[in-house]
Amino acid sequence: MRCIFCKVDSSSSRSVEHIIPESLGNIDHVLPPGIVCDKCNNYISREVEKPFLDSRYIQERRFNFGIPSKKKRIPPMEGFHLQTSTLIHLLKVDGEEGISVCAGPNTD
């Protein structure tokens, strides 16, 4: 079997390629081992998926919709209270109602 990206022999590859990242809630849409070689799968995870998942827009969506990471954590959000110059941390625990709000030290 050959990798669909680099065309090298991928018959010994162990990793599965998630068509939609697990960190967006996907557990069903995967390609079996060998379709994508381990090297390409690692590259895509590191250079494509990670920057995408780390973007503010996607982090906000994951927080708002309660989509946990592979490690079952919902990414926290940070904000800034303009009137007091205080850093605000928003936390959501998977399976629990509501949001925890923590105020950090003054950033002046």
Domain count, the chain: 2
Query: Residues 77, 68: contact at Cβ < 8 Å?
Result: no
Is residue 48 one of the residues assigned to a domain?
yes
pLDDT score recorded for residue 8: 97
62 and 80 within one domain? no
pLDDT for residue 108:
47
What are 57's two structure tokens?
């827009």
What is the per-residue pLDDT for 99? 86
Q: Phi and psi of 85, rounded to 5°?
A: 55, 40
Are both 7 and 54 inside the same structural domain?
Answer: yes
DSSP secondary structure code for residue 45 in this structure? I
Q: How large is the greatest C-alpha to C-alpha distance in the chain, in angstroms?
A: 60
Is the pLDDT at 107 greater than 50, yes or no?
no
pTM check: above 0.85: no
Distance (Å) of CA 35 to CA 2, 20, 48, 70:
7, 15, 18, 22
pLDDT digits over 87-106, tens only?
999 988 767 788 888 887 65
Residue 14: domain span = 1-66
Cα torsion 56, 62, 63, 68 to 10°: value is -130
**pLDDT digit string (tens) for 7-41?**
999 999 999 999 999 888 888 999 999 999 999 99
The pLDDT tens digits for 47-87 are: 999 999 999 999 999 998 888 888 888 888 988 888 988 89
* Residue 2 belongs to a domain: yes
Q: Are residues 11 and 56 in the same domain?
A: yes
From residue 1, give the alpha-carbon distance in Å to each of 12, 19, 28, 29, 107. 9, 19, 22, 20, 55
